[in-house]
Structure 1
Amino acid sequence: MEGYLAIVLHAHLPFVRHPEHERFLEENWLFEAITECYLPLLQRLEGWRRDNLPVRLTLSLSPTLVSMLQDSLLQARYTRHLDGLIELAGLELQRTYWDRALHELAGFYYQRLRELRELWLGVQRDLVGALARYQESGHLEIITCAATHAVLPLLQHAPSVRAQVLVARDHYQCVFGRQCRGFWLPECAYGEGVEAPLQEADFRWFIVDTHGLLGARPAPRYGVFAPVYTPEGIAVFGRDPESSRQVWSRDEGYPGDPVYRDFYRDIGFDLDLDYLRPYLPSPDQRTFTGIKYYSITGPGTDKRPYDRALAVRRAGEHAAHFLHARIEQVRRLQGVTPVPPILVAPYDAELFGHWWYEGPEFLDALVRLMAQQRTLSFITPWEYLQRHATHQVARPMPSSWGEAGYWQVWVNESNAWIWPHLRVAQNRMTQLVKKHRRPHTLVKRALQQAGRELLLAQASDWPFILRTGTSPGYARQRIKDHLLRFNTLYDQLLHGRVDPLWLEQVEQRDNLFPNLDPTYWA
């Protein structure tokens, strides 16, 4: 082999769970991702295992996502959601009977949803356990990220950074029963100081965006085609810009091809509301159903009906183009690096299937084409370090993979108000832990819940949503609710008057990380 390709899929969603409501609109974020991303990935993994293909992917599962996937309430609600979609697709078969193109697509959705339901029930609603089995078989390396996907450099509070890292480590070990070597920095956000808790937790590598590595001091001799070690001894991999551009670029990226399915044109917005109402999470609010009949088509023209067969063929063509470009890259690098170069290609897992409906077909075609050549092989970053252990020492540059490469997505006029409140809460959490060094059961429960509320308030998702404007009211309310609950717990603990009934209600609502250790904030 002349080089290696490390595809890293980062799967994350914010913790959204509302037992106080029978249906809740934002819980659909999880349900859409299961239907369009996680179950299709499981299908592909089974196909690769069945055909004995030499594939090694890295999958980052955020602790909040894992917690939701393992939650029995959300599992039951997803089953109800999937049953409703199947029923709606059945109605669409009848409604579109006289429109051949749409009728064929309705049949496609009906059959696909039934297959996904069979798989969902076949793994006994345990997606995390099913993915873990592919880690055991060698097809996946599953890694973790910060507990609630906080932008670590922006916390500016060492105990809070430590808690985000160590809670994630404990959670991973509890779920998967093994040590985790890789750590996904949320938003690929690096700042000097994150290494100390990563080192304490024994994480051995992480990824930064291209400029984060190219701007390292001293400059990396081999660019992004080999890792460096920080002075603390943790390996840093840089994102390959060409792999990124071919998938992510608005102008050059594959997902924008006109034959692919249009994400935004959904029957949830096209059809009569009374017809759709029984299948919507919020009966009076239109939203995506996942049943979409039109291709992207292009600007200035009427939308063409989606041609599924043509789109799948195009995904295969794009996979072949992608592989050819990677082979050309490693051939140009011959003799430049002392060991075979590594091309690190990190992506949001939700791109493959949700935003880019044909993304799973692209991955499947890529894996099958990779098996037919001998220039490039799949590898995980940890395997690369085991094979090639000696690398340059350098300090990465503060950076992220957000817009403009730094912090402006999470600190701007729409969300800057969050950070002063978090600063106060973070200092208060450390104060509480130091005050209650040997807490009795009720006080320990209150400390644990205060930690959960603070972690949830720190999630990067809320300032991101406020910036993009997708669900700003919900994001604003979530931050306020978590901070309000934290401050209530702070007052109760400070004055020695913990309300056990209220505490139990809050524990049942925000129920992740049952074994959380408050001393991490000390």
Structure 2
Amino acid sequence: MSIGYLALVLHAHLPFVRHPESDYVLEEEWLFEAITETYIPLIQMFEGLKRDRIEFKMTMSLTPPLVSMLRDPLLQERYDQHLAKLQELVEKEVDHNQHNDHLVYLAKHYIEEFAEARTLWERYSGDLVTAFKQFQDSNNLEIITCGATHGYLPLMKMYPQAVHAQIQVACEHYEENFGRPPRGIWLPECAYYNGLETIVADCGLRYFLTDGHGVLYAQPRPRFGTYAPIFTETGVAVFARDHESSQQVWSSQVGYPGSPEYREFYKDLGWEAEYEYIKPYIMPNGQRKNTGIKYHKITGRDLGLADKELYDPYWAKQKVAEHAANFMFNRERQVEHLQGIMQRPPIIVSPYDAELFGHWWYEGPWFLDLLFRKTWFDQDVYAMTHLADYLQTYPTQQVCRPAQSSWGYKGFHEYWLNHTNSWIYPHLHKAAERMISLACREALNELELRALNQAARELLLAQSSDWAFIISSGTMVPYAVRRTKSHLMRFNKIYEDIKIGKIDAGWLQKVETLDNIFPNINYRVYRPVM
């Protein structure tokens, strides 16, 4: 009989990127890459575990922007075309590399991988949300929500209505897509501030996650550290990230993903192939880009890309088996040690970005699959659980007040508020004030009602923490700046038009088409919370 628990938690999120006004926008491929490399492999893994009668348990967030994009017909059609291009390219690669048996072997590996992705995609008619939902319905997967657009909540706390809107809209969207209210929430960037739990409770949520120090520095100090949830005074539970197990997988320096046998992310066919040959498969303007077809392994940490050796999935899978066994062994010893100290079953919460598995760490889905299988067959020290099941089994916990925290750089808010992106927030605050004032009025007619609802959408989209994150990271900065400014400009135009009583119906219809997230939103969600 197990003496502790392991809870794997994956956070599946992408910003809302959808451009019907253009035939091609590179940033839409963030979604397409994640579908091929992460979401489809996860579903394939779940199906295999169910087929083999392995009762796996895992918690996974599917954020509202991601769910909206996965169910958008335009993006589904564009992904279908994207996958067809990949299949065409790898078929050409077999003939193109006839002189090199290893490259032919790798090209055939990708042919099989993309064919399996195509089969699953067509089996679910492009609706991967339904594919994930079936595992929630069988209680293997606990799907949780997030902020409506992943807004960074501690930097919105001076406007409780705005924080409430981020959470309430997310909960309503979740119920529309999964047929029941969500029980838990992944706070965007795991960012918590004192008092947030009250809004979380008001929206009907049962638990949320923080980084480890959010619980370790709680008041009073939790008796069991991060190895048991705490309850806030509102009754909402808080689970904290376990540093040891997280670093073992997450870190590219000391964690598994940096192993020399694993596939090298930064050496891609789109940059390596002869230009005229690859031109039909890169950007329409002729600029090179990643294709997702990668032929080399990490080889060594200090090597340049030119010195990387060819990848071999066979040997990578052998290393994955070794790493999955090592992870299981470490959790067994960790649970045994903790149970001896605590005199009760500990829970080790291991949260990761879902895109780590498959996109950044190509072998990640293989690792998860083997970990679930080894856990099921090869040990009895710990049991896998998802967070909702754990709370049902252990409904009594210590009451504490969590500490302000995030899982970002230095553990607090600096990455989302610094010299690169601080210009955003005065505009977001002003827009929040305006939206709260708009929410207090009653629409005079159908056109004004549409305008008020669209204003709410534009503010939510402008608040996405992804834009500040991208600006801070220094990658794709012009796109993040453009998105922030465009949503704010659209919001302000709607606000001014409503104030003067002259709404531009044609322009509004165009914006509704462009930014069509949350079709059932009610602008009154921004009214003061009583």
Give the TM-score normalised by structure 2.
Answer: 0.97
- RMSD of aligned Cα (Å): 1.0
Which residue number in structure 2 is paired with residue 378 of structure 1?
384
Matches within 5 A, 1:269-284: 269-284=271-286
Q: What are the residue-to-residue correspondences of 1:221-232 with 2, within 5 Å?
A: 221-232=223-234
Q: 1:419 and 2:444 equivalent?
A: no
Counterpart-to-counterpart distance in 2, 1:276 and 1:499: 45
Change (3 A) 1:438 1:506: closer
Q: Which letter maps to 1:315?
A: V
Is 1:485 the equivalent of 2:490? Answer: yes
Q: Deviations over 1:86-112 (max 9, x none)?
A: 001111111111111111101111121
Q: How does 1:80-479 map to 2 (within 5 A)?
A: 80-156=81-157, 157-298=159-300, 299-300=302-303, 302-372=307-377, 373-434=379-440, 436-479=441-484
In structure 2, what is the equivalent of residue 8 of structure 1?
9
Asked if structure 1 preserves the Cα contact closer than 8 Å seen for 2:142 and 2:387, the reply is no
Deviations 1:56-101 (A, max 9, x none): 1111000000000000000000000000000011111111111111
In 2: Cα distance, 1:465 partner to 1:246 partner: 25
What are the equivalent positions in structure 2 for 1:502-521 lying under 5 Å apart? 502-521=507-526
CA distance in 2, matches of 1:273, 1:197: 54
The answer as to whether partners of 2:68 and 2:517 remain within 8 angstroms in 1 is yes
Query: How many residues are aligned here?
Result: 521
Cα offset for 1:499? 1.2
Does structure 1 retain, via aligned residues, the 8 Å contact 2:172–2:181?
Answer: no
Partners of 2:444 and 2:464 lie apart in 1 by: 27
Deviates most, 277-286 or 219-228:
277-286
What is the deviation of 1:281? Answer: 4.1
Report the Cα distance in structure 2 between the residues aligned to 1:247 and 1:133, rounded to whole angstroms: 27
SS in 2 for 1:295: coil
SS for the counterpart of 1:371 is: helix
User: Runs of 5+ in structure 1 lacking a partner?
Assistant: none
String of CA shifts for 1:369-408, please: whole Å, max 9, x gaps.
0011211111111111111111111111101000110111
2 CA distance for matches of 1:187 and 1:428? 26
Q: Is the 8 A contact 1:225 1:341 kept in 2?
A: yes
Aligned mates of 1:281, 1:234 — CA distance in 2: 47
Q: Residue deviations 1:282-337, cap 9 Å, x none?
A: 44221110100000111236211001100011111101100100010110012433
Cα distance in 1 for partners of 2:283, 2:372 equals 36
Q: Tell me the residue number matched to 2:38.
A: 37
| Contact 1:25–1:282 (Cα < 8 Å) also in 2 | no
Unaligned runs of 5+ in 2: none
Residues 432 and 494 of structure 1 are in contact (CA less than 8 Å); yes or no, is this contact kept in structure 2? no
Q: 1:250, CA displacement in angstroms? A: 3.5
Partner-residue secondary structure (3-state), 1:255: helix
Q: Which one-letter code corresponds to 1:199 in the other structure?
A: A
Which amino acid counterpart does residue 433 of structure 2 have in structure 1? N
Equivalent-residue separation in structure 1 for 2:384 and 2:260 (angstroms):
30
Q: Which amino acid aligns with 1:300?
A: L
Change (3 A) 1:282 1:11: farther
Q: Percent identity?
A: 50
Determine helix, strand or coil for the equivalent of 1:409: helix
Summarize deviations over 1:30-74 as a string: whole Å, max 9, x none.
Answer: 000000000000100100000000201111000000000000000
Report the more deviating stretch, 133-142 or 321-330. 133-142
State how far apart, in whole Å, the 2-side matches of 1:333 and 1:192 are.
Answer: 29
Secondary structure in structure 1 of the residue aligned to 2:239:
strand
**Structure 1 runs, 4 residues or longer, greater than 3 Å off:** none
